[in-house]
Structure 1
Amino acid sequence: MSRSAIKLHTPAGRKALDKMIHEAERKAQEQAAAKPARPGAKAAPAATAKPAAMGAGEIRIIGGQWRRTRLAVAQKPGLRPTPDRVRETLFNWLGQDLSNWKCVDAFSGTGALGFEAASRGAASVIMNEQDAELVQQLRRLQQRLDAKAVKVVRGDALSCLKTASGQDLVFLDPPFAQAELFEPAIQAAVAALNEGGFIYLEAPEAWTEERLLELGLELHRYLKAGAVHAHLLRKQ
């Protein structure tokens, strides 16, 4: 269509003209990019990609009073927060409402599990972490949420569990590379639980029902998500 044929007083005409102008600008940009740079001219700065984040970056609380709240977490190599989908499934298993429950998040890390429990009404949540930087991050998140039910402590997970008692739910998410931690942590968690209490265990492999029975536990629920084997265990 020639420009003389465009009727500018009509919507179709204005649209056609805009299209022609846009196409002319695009061709001009392509031609400019194809021309060799003049000697001595400065090259245009290249676009730089954002570095990939190390660690979680942020977590999202799935349910409860802080539902959909996004919380920044320390970005550390190897930090492995429980995925949103797995947490959602876990709390569906537990019945969503944790009012009056007493909980321990023994290897707290990002705090995803402990803050989720507090959001859903838990009466107390002990969040234990050994890494000093992560402890400070957890305390900042606690203050931001005004999470009065949450107590952040720094220390060894096994020692924390051995001093806890009368708990309804213990979260166990030890570093996958430290296989020697799993059985002692489970034993300490069993001792800390009320009768009928739950342990949520994340592990790099599935624990058999026979092995769990020897520790006084029954397998209540199980799922596999990627490299994570998630178990909800109940004290017999």
Structure 2
Amino acid sequence: MRIVGGSLRGLKLADLGDGDRAAHLRPTSDRVREAIFNLLVNGTQGNPIPGARVLDLFAGTGALGLEALSRGAAHVTFVDDGATAQALIRSNVARARAQAGTDVLRRDAMRMGDNRAAPYDLVFLDPPYALGLGERAIVQAIGGGWIAPGAMVVWEEGRPPLVPAPLKQIDQRRYGDTVVTLARLPDAARG
């Protein structure tokens, strides 16, 4: 696994192989990650990455958040409650020398509580497939004030997710066994 674009392009990330099923880790392939960032950068909604505060829920290896940082995001907060994921994220942040621009929270993405900092402009959501965890996590994040009005949500699943209101789906693509859904929180929406 490598960073596929931006200032960290080519950086090799800690190797997880095909994933860690016991820890529910299934890293986003380089090909799917590149497709996601092409959608963001070249989409009709405008590139949401430069200067963004990024929230990476179910962060796993941290590859999505680090890719955003490589492409100009201002700050990334990684959220995962697994010990294996925490070790991988910290290792990858160190490899990228990105400690100053990141936070790593050991927290259940479905029980985020209230946000006490500025909300996030770009959210990556990559839950274990087919368990309905993404739906619960995004509702909690919106309700807790984690997601800024107008924010873009990038959601990976094995099937098309049930995008909860007030999010508005704006695009959806299939890449092999991965469905990528882009949604936006309306500017007037607050938790």
- Smaller-chain TM-score range? 0.7 to 0.9
* Equivalent pair of 2:130/2:159 in contact (CA under 8 Å): no
Q: In structure 1, what is the equivalent of residue 180 of structure 2?
A: 230
List runs of 5+ in structure 1 lacking aligned partners.
1-58
Change (3 A) 1:160 1:126: farther
Q: In structure 1, what is the equivalent of residue 111 of structure 2?
A: 159
* Equivalent pair of 1:74/1:133 in contact (CA under 8 Å): no
Deviation at 1:143, TM superposition (A): 1.6
Q: In structure 2, what is the equivalent of residue 49 of structure 1?
A: none
* Equivalent pair of 1:97/1:120 in contact (CA under 8 Å): no
* 1:167-210 deviation line (CA, Å, top 9, x unaligned): 1011111111422x232112123342222111111122113xxx
Q: How many residues align?
A: 173
* Equivalent pair of 2:14/2:91 in contact (CA under 8 Å): no
Provide the TM-score with structure 2 as the length reference. 0.81
Give the RMSD, CA atoms, in angstroms: 2.1
User: Which protein is richer in helix relative to its size?
Assistant: 1
Amino acid at match of 2:131: Q
Deviation at 1:137, TM superposition (A): 2.2
Q: Which of structure 1's runs of 4+ aligned residues deviate more than 6 A? A: none
* Equivalent pair of 2:111/2:137 in contact (CA under 8 Å): no
List runs of 5+ in structure 2 lacking aligned partners.
42-46, 187-191
Structure 2 distance, partners of 1:155, 1:145, is: 22
Q: In structure 2, what is the equivalent of residue 99 of structure 1?
A: 50
Deviation at 1:235, TM superposition (A): 1.0
Provide the identity percentage: 37
* 1:114-154 deviation line (CA, Å, top 9, x unaligned): 11111112111011111112212211221222102111121
Equivalence map 1:198-217=2 (5 Å)? 198-207=152-161, 212=163, 215-217=165-167
* Equivalent pair of 1:205/1:229 in contact (CA under 8 Å): yes
Structure 2 distance, partners of 1:221, 1:176, is: 19
Deviation at 1:229, TM superposition (A): 1.0
Q: 2:36 aligns with which of 90, 114, 137?
A: 90
Q: Does 1:80 align with 2:26?
A: yes
Equivalence map 1:1-236=2 (5 Å)? 59-75=1-17, 76-78=19-21, 79-95=25-41, 98-147=49-98, 148-160=100-112, 162-163=114-115, 165-179=118-132, 181-191=133-143, 192-207=146-161, 212=163, 215-236=165-186
Change (3 A) 1:230 1:221: same
* Equivalent pair of 1:203/1:228 in contact (CA under 8 Å): yes
Other structure's SS at 1:62 match: coil
* Equivalent pair of 2:53/2:76 in contact (CA under 8 Å): yes
* Equivalent pair of 1:202/1:229 in contact (CA under 8 Å): yes
